[in-house]
Amino acid sequence: MLEPGVLTLAATPIGNPLDASVRLMRALGEADVIAAEDTRRLARLLSALEVTAQGRILSYHEHNEAERTDVLLEALGEGERVLIVTDAGMPVVSDPGFRAVRAATEAGYTVTVIPGPSAVLTALAASGIAPDRFTFEGFPPRREGRRASALEPLATEQRTMVFFESPRRTAVTLAAMAEAFGLERRGAVARELTKTYEEIQRGTLGELVAWAEATEVLGEVVIVVAGAEPVAASAEDLVEDVLARAAAGERLKDAAKAAARSAPGITASELYDQALRRKDTHAPRGKG
């Protein structure tokens, strides 16, 4: 049951309305104010769920967030039960809601969440790519130069990466990813998740580029890309790290032990001996 004067964020189905939780259905019926990203989509969801909204419905999207957030705060101040929903998935995650959360918490109001469907987690789970560590990167920039600049520093990211993308830009974005990450990097493209025509393509980025260029990509798209393989540090690089630690005041043996912990196969004694020889080689000699 929704509490008076509490802001609630609720996840909505990402495709199949049967994924709606009982809590979401109750919240939609109980809320005094429902702030919806698209009121027409909300109306369709209410119809599919056979729920009648008792409260007033406001549009709440990226173009009116600032002014409508003030309206939501006023409603909270009057003890009303305020609910935020977006077109699909969780508010705030690449969707409106963050501004309201920040304003509500700063004003001292309670914020709670009704969890539910997530395109990020659904695509990640189905991708076949390691899910133990991942990062959500949202939508890549639309312009070619900015997109390339955003992807370039991610080339060495070792966590699995999840992106949202428009179907119209999926092919060019995959090509940019192949350029930045390499043709052989593993990836997956998930479209229309939980809907009738759900499709998941898996393969190398090179293979996915070929697929996207030969296909009319339709629907909501999530791209999952494997992280970079870790690059083993060389003993020479580690010795430099040991010497830098020692120069900063750390004992040479302790510095060697710390550096060795990050490099399987290289022992602390080996690093210590090499660092000691390097120090001796570069030590200033006195006059004979």
As given in the structure block, the two tokens for residue 114 are 């009704």
What pLDDT score was predicted for residue 3? 87
What pLDDT score was predicted for residue 233? 64
Question: What order do you get walking across the sheet with 160-165 strand by strand?
Answer: 134-138, 160-165, 221-225, 186-191, 199-204
Spell out the residues 6+ positions from residue 144 whose beta carbon is closer than 8 angstroms to its own: 172, 176
- In the chain, the number of structural domains is 3
High-pLDDT (> 70) share of the chain, %:
94
Amino acid making up residue 100: A
> Do 55 and 140 have their domain in common?
no
Separation between Cα atoms, residue 206 and residue 179, nearest integer Å: 9
Q: Do 35 and 104 touch, CB atoms closer than 8 A? A: no
Q: What is the DSSP letter of 208?
A: H
> Mean pLDDT across the stretch 44-59?
97
> Mean pLDDT across the stretch 38-59?
97
Residue 180 lies in a domain: yes
> Mean pLDDT across the stretch 42-62?
96
Residue 230 lies in a domain: no
> Do 125 and 108 have their domain in common?
no
What pLDDT score was predicted for residue 260? 79
Residue 37 lies in a domain: yes
Q: What is the DSSP letter of 232?
A: P
What pLDDT score was predicted for residue 285? 47
Provide the pLDDT confidence category of residue 288 given band limits of 50, 70 and 90: very low
List the beta strands (DSSP E) in the chain: 6-10, 33-36, 56-59, 82-85, 110-114, 134-138, 160-165, 186-191, 199-204, 221-225
Spell out the residues 6+ positions from residue 162 whose beta carbon is closer than 8 angstroms to its own: 120, 123, 124, 134, 135, 136, 137, 222, 223, 224, 225
Residue 288 lies in a domain: no
> Do 137 and 109 have their domain in common?
no
N residues, the chain:
288
Residue 1 lies in a domain: no
What digits encode the pLDDT tens for the residues 203-228? 999 999 999 999 999 999 999 999 99
- Residue 23, φ and ψ in degrees, nearest 5: -65, -40
Does the structure show a pLDDT above 70 at 231?
Answer: no
What digits encode the pLDDT tens for the residues 86-122? 999 999 998 999 999 999 999 999 999 999 999 999 9
Provide the pLDDT confidence category of residue 143 given band limits of 50, 70 and 90: very high
What pLDDT score was predicted for residue 55? 96
> Mean pLDDT across the stretch 182-187?
97
Distance, first Cα to last Cα, the chain: 88
> What is the three-class DSSP state of 213?
helix
Spell out the residues 6+ positions from residue 160 whose beta carbon is closer than 8 angstroms to its own: 124, 127, 129, 130, 131, 133, 134, 135, 224, 225, 226, 227
> Do 41 and 59 have their domain in common?
yes
Nearest to 19 by CA among 199, 196, 194, 190: 194
> Do 14 and 81 have their domain in common?
yes
Residue 264: domain span: 235-282
CATH code of the domain containing 66: 3.40.1010.10
Nearest to 219 by CA among 164, 181, 281, 274: 164
Burial degree of 242 (CB within 10 A; 0-12, 13-18, 19+): buried
pTM to 2 decimal places: 0.79
Separation between Cα atoms, residue 183 and residue 95, nearest integer Å: 31
> Do 23 and 56 have their domain in common?
yes
Greatest Cα pair distance, the chain, in angstroms, is 97
What digits encode the pLDDT tens for the residues 239-277? 888 888 888 888 988 888 887 776 666 788 888 888 888
CATH code of the domain containing 131: 3.30.950.10
High-pLDDT (> 90) share of the chain, %:
76
> Mean pLDDT across the stretch 171-189?
97
What pLDDT score was predicted for residue 287? 47
Separation between Cα atoms, residue 168 and residue 80, nearest integer Å: 41
Does the structure show a pLDDT above 80 at 10?
Answer: yes
> Do 21 and 95 have their domain in common?
yes
What pLDDT score was predicted for residue 60? 96
* 105 to 67, 80, 102, 197: CA distances (angstroms): 17, 16, 5, 40
